[in-house]
């Protein structure tokens, strides 16, 4: 059980790291787009590209966090903990669904 608890925490940290990394890349991309816009070299699709890329990282990170939550429930299977996990999974799944839909709609040819 101790090893599985460590694995669940590592998976959660990986998910958080993916989200932080995506946020950093998104911020850098946004700053580049804004500087280009201020210099008069605006590309309307560039901002959308940054948004889609950040959304992809956010979606992947959320999937890791859902997996970590599910693994951690194995260690505390009380009804309250299962209900809390269910709520968290539902919220994250809804967020993932809408992010995935927005990303798919933003791809060329959609």
Per-residue pLDDT, 1? 67
Domain parsing of the chain, residue ranges: 2-106
Say how far apart CA 46 and CA 109 lie, in whole Å: 16
Say how far apart CA 14 and CA 31 lie, in whole Å: 26
Cβ density class 10-34: b for 16+ within 10 Å, e for less: ebbebbeebbeebeeebeebeeebe
Count of other CB atoms within 10 angstroms of residue 64: 19
Low-confidence ranges of the chain (pLDDT < 50): none
Per-residue pLDDT, 46? 86
């Amino acid at each position: 059980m101790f090893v599985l608890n460590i694995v669940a925490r590592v998976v959660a940290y990986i998910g958080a790291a993916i989200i932080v990394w995506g946020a950093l890349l998104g911020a850098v991309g946004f700053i580049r787009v804004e500087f280009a816009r201020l210099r008069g070299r605006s590309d309307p699709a560039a901002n959308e590209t940054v948004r889609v890329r950040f959304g992809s990282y956010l979606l992947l990170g959320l999937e890791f966090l859902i997996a970590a939550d599910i693994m951690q429930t194995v260690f505390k299977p009380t009804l309250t903990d299962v209900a809390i996990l269910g709520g968290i999974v539902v919220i994250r799944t809804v967020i993932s669904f809408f992010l995935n839909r927005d990303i798919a709609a933003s791809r060329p040819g959609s």
